[in-house]
């Protein structure tokens, strides 16, 4: 979930002059070998604590008072949400409403209702987050008791999908005080809800279940919390319902046939899917995918190719340890399988208005969207100078390196460096971790930065770049949930 700031104001740092892709990297097959930084990089910078990923927000989408949990639902008390009007003013919290003594300092302006609601949602979520799996189970139990038909949308093991759904509801709720950001995140979330099979009418019951679960698990739940959560839910639910209704005419999912499955190693595979009709995605976007071996367990995957005339999609999949879906994709997928493809989503892409040079950092299968973006830029009239760092533990992890290098050999605007943590003696790769290799290879403070890879890699790289003077607003990566 990364549309949120990584930190509250990274260090500005005395930015040395932009190094550009040629600094430390030669065009074509190159590694950044200078081992040091060009320019004035010795200045001590203030380290700002960085929270790489914001606490996942929770958001009940309830039409207050329209549903009450049934008697046998696992809610201790007062199952119906507080009857707060959807668009009306929020009751001021008691502390704000209390009269001030005459000699008190000038009263602070009351917090706007949306800001108060969003803040309370974030606070309460931080409290319950350590017990998110229990919360998800409770939420699902409530939801299924209120709307038994929703059970069929979930697989047998409900914790993980319930957790994802929960987070996808809380995220917009915690952002209701930032309408621009809220709007931007709603579209992909709503698409995912549609791919799951949810419809506009079900948001109400989702909200009731969410608030019921929060009431049970939040340590400091009181009337103010309830009001804040209901308000935040109401503010987020309206636009979601509208978006779902607006999108109802278009099919929520496409289908395609697996036409190729190549196992690169025990835990890596490349899968080609021919969709029945071209999927209108942009380079860098991801699709949520459902495979026949794991029904109703949707997972985001990023195509490794820019949109092609024949519509063929290429996915690079790594089986994660204990992973339900990725292991089946790598080990059991076969030509002829029918995959369901949710609508494209994601923020990873290049702002056409920017003229800045580009830094792309990809870990493992994160190379897929980066390759797609580079292929796409190769079609531009004026591509922007771009440096790609592709990292993995061992060279076999770098599944798209050959293709990136072929592009770089053809296009002087592209420089590529490979980084392998467990291959320190290789002549073709830089040693060390991806974030360390990136920051020691150049000054990126004047670049637009795109990150793709595991949550851990994104956190580490974003933190290193922020500390190194890259502005938060220049770093783009996709929200993720685990
Ligand atoms: C925007 C986006 C794009 C993605 N693109 C790709 C892609 O192109 N190729 C690809 O292989 N995967 C990609 N992923 C990851 C993929 O969606 C799944 O999360 C991953 O395959 C694990 O699913 P699973 O069902 O096997 O694991 P789960 O059963 O969901 O989880 C099992 C365990 O693995 C951990 N885990 C989950 N995901 C990861 C991860 N990414 N890295 C390390 N540990 C993890 C979980 O915390 C859990 O402990 C992408 C994810 C996002 C958010």
* H-assigned helices in 80-158: 94-97, 113-128, 132-146
Q: How far is the CA of 321 from the centre of ligand 1 (A)?
A: 10
Residue nearest ligand 1's atom 7 by CA: 301
- 224-275: per-residue pLDDT in tens? 999 999 999 999 998 888 888 887 766 778 999 999 999 999 999 999 999 9
Q: How far is the CA of 220 from the centre of ligand 1 (A)?
A: 33
Whether residue 414 lies inside any domain: the answer is: yes
Count: domains in the chain: 3
Banded model confidence at residue 165, pLDDT cuts 50, 70, 90? very high
Residue 317 CA, closest ligand 1 atom number: 11
CATH number of the domain that residue 284 is part of: 2.40.30.10
State residue 104's pLDDT score: 58
CATH number of the domain that residue 192 is part of: 1.10.490.10
The answer to whether the CB of 185 falls within 8 A of the CB of 175 is: yes
Pocket test for ligand 1, best of 326, 362, 370 (most atoms within 8 A of CB): 326
Domain boundary at 322, 341, 360, which? Answer: 341
Show the domain range for 452: 28-53+347-476
Q: How, if at all, do strands 268-275 and 254-265 pair?
A: antiparallel
Pocket test for ligand 1, best of 132, 159, 320, 460 (most atoms within 8 A of CB): 320
Whether residue 84 lies inside any domain: the answer is: no
Considering the domain architecture, whether residues 132 and 240 belong to the same structural domain is answered as yes
* Sheet strands (E) in 114-251: none
Considering the domain architecture, whether residues 370 and 464 belong to the same structural domain is answered as yes
- 25-81: per-residue pLDDT in tens? 433 333 333 333 333 322 222 222 223 333 333 333 333 333 333 333 343 333 333
Whether residue 152 lies inside any domain: the answer is: yes
Whether residue 443 lies inside any domain: the answer is: yes
Whether residue 422 lies inside any domain: the answer is: yes
Q: Which residues line the pocket of ligand 1, CB cutoff 6 A?
A: 160, 286, 299-302, 315-318, 320, 322-327, 346, 365, 368, 454, 478, 480, 482
Banded model confidence at residue 394, pLDDT cuts 50, 70, 90? confident
The answer to whether the CB of 6 falls within 8 A of the CB of 463 is: yes
Q: How far is the CA of 7 from the centre of ligand 1 (A)?
A: 24
Considering the domain architecture, whether residues 267 and 351 belong to the same structural domain is answered as no
- Give residue for tokens 């992890």: 397
Whether residue 296 lies inside any domain: the answer is: yes
Domain boundary at 315, 341, 367, which? Answer: 341
Q: How far is the CA of 446 from the centre of ligand 1 (A)?
A: 31
Considering the domain architecture, whether residues 117 and 235 belong to the same structural domain is answered as yes
Considering the domain architecture, whether residues 262 and 205 belong to the same structural domain is answered as no
Domain boundary at 214, 247, 280, which? Answer: 247
* Three-class secondary structure of residue 234 per DSSP: helix
270: Cβ contacts below 8 Å, ≥ 6 apart: 260, 261, 262, 264, 304, 314, 315, 316, 317, 399
Q: How far is the CA of 324 from the centre of ligand 1 (A)?
A: 9
Q: How far is the CA of 79 from the centre of ligand 1 (A)?
A: 35
Considering the domain architecture, whether residues 44 and 143 belong to the same structural domain is answered as no
Distances (CA, A) of 125 to 122, 160, 166, 214, 402: 5, 17, 11, 9, 44
**Looking at the predicted structure, is the pLDDT value of residue 428 above 90?**
no
Q: How far is the CA of 316 from the centre of ligand 1 (A)?
A: 12
Residue 346 CA, closest ligand 1 atom number: 1
Using alpha carbons only, give the angle 16, 18, 23 rounded to the nearest 5 degrees: 110
Whether residue 424 lies inside any domain: the answer is: yes
- 176-216: per-residue pLDDT in tens? 999 888 888 887 788 788 888 888 899 999 999 999 999 99
Considering the domain architecture, whether residues 169 and 240 belong to the same structural domain is answered as yes
Considering the domain architecture, whether residues 184 and 225 belong to the same structural domain is answered as yes
**Closest to 167 (Cα-Cα) out of 422, 482, 392:** 482
**Closest to 210 (Cα-Cα) out of 88, 115, 89, 128:** 128
The answer to whether the CB of 389 falls within 8 A of the CB of 361 is: yes
Whether residue 100 lies inside any domain: the answer is: no
Residue nearest ligand 1's atom 38 by CA: 482
Considering the domain architecture, whether residues 356 and 455 belong to the same structural domain is answered as yes
């Amino acid at each position: 979930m990364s549309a949120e700031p990584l930190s509250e104001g990274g260090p500005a740092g005395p930015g040395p002059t932009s190094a550009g892709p040629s600094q430390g990297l030669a065009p074509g097959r190159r590694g950044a070998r200078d081992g040091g930084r060009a320019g004035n990089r010795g200045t001590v910078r203030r380290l700002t604590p960085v929270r790489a990923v914001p606490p996942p927000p929770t958001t009940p989408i309830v039409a207050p008072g329209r549903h009450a949990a049934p008697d046998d639902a696992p809610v201790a008390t007062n199952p119906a949400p507080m009857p707060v009007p959807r668009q009306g003013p929020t009751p001021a919290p008691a502390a704000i409403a209390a009269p001030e003594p005459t000699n008190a300092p000038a009263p602070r302006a009351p917090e706007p209702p949306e800001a108060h609601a969003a803040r309370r949602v974030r606070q309460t979520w931080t409290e319950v987050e350590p017990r998110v799996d229990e919360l998800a189970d409770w939420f699902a139990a409530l939801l299924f008791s209120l709307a038994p038909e929703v059970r069929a949308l979930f697989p047998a093991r409900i914790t993980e999908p319930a957790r994802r759904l929960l987070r996808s509801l809380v995220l917009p709720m915690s952002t209701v005080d930032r309408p621009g950001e809220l709007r931007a995140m709603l579209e992909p979330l709503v698409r995912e809800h549609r791919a799951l099979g949810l419809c506009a009418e079900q948001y109400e019951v989702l909200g009731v279940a969410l608030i019921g679960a929060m009431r049970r698990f939040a340590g400091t739940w009181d009337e103010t919390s309830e009001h804040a959560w209901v308000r935040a839910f109401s503010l987020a639910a309206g636009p979601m319902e509208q978006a779902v209704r607006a999108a109802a005419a278009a099919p929520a999912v496409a289908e395609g046939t697996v036409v190729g499955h190549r196992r690169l190693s025990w835990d890596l595979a490349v899968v080609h899917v021919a969709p029945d009709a071209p999927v209108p995605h942009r380079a860098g976007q991801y699709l949520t995918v459902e495979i026949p071996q794991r029904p109703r367990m949707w997972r985001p995957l990023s195509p490794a190719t820019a949109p092609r005339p024949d519509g063929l999609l290429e996915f690079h999949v790594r089986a994660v340890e204990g992973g339900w879906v990725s292991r089946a994709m790598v080990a059991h997928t076969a030509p002829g399988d029918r995959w369901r493809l949710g609508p494209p989503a994601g923020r990873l892409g290049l702002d056409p208005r920017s003229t800045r040079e580009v830094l792309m950092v990809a870990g493992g299968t994160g190379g897929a969207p980066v390759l797609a973006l580079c292929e796409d830029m190769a079609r531009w009239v004026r591509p922007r100078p771009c440096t790609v760092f592709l990292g993995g533990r061992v060279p076999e992890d770098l599944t798209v390196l050959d293709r990136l290098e072929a592009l770089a050999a053809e296009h002087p605007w592209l420089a590529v460096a490979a980084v392998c943590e467990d291959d320190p003696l290789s002549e073709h790769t830089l040693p060390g971790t991806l974030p360390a290799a990136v920051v020691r290879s150049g000054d990126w403070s004047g670049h637009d930065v795109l990150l793709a890879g595991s949550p851990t890699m994104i956190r580490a790289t974003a933190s290193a770049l922020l500390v190194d003077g890259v502005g938060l607003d220049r770093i783009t990566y996709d929200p993720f949930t685990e």
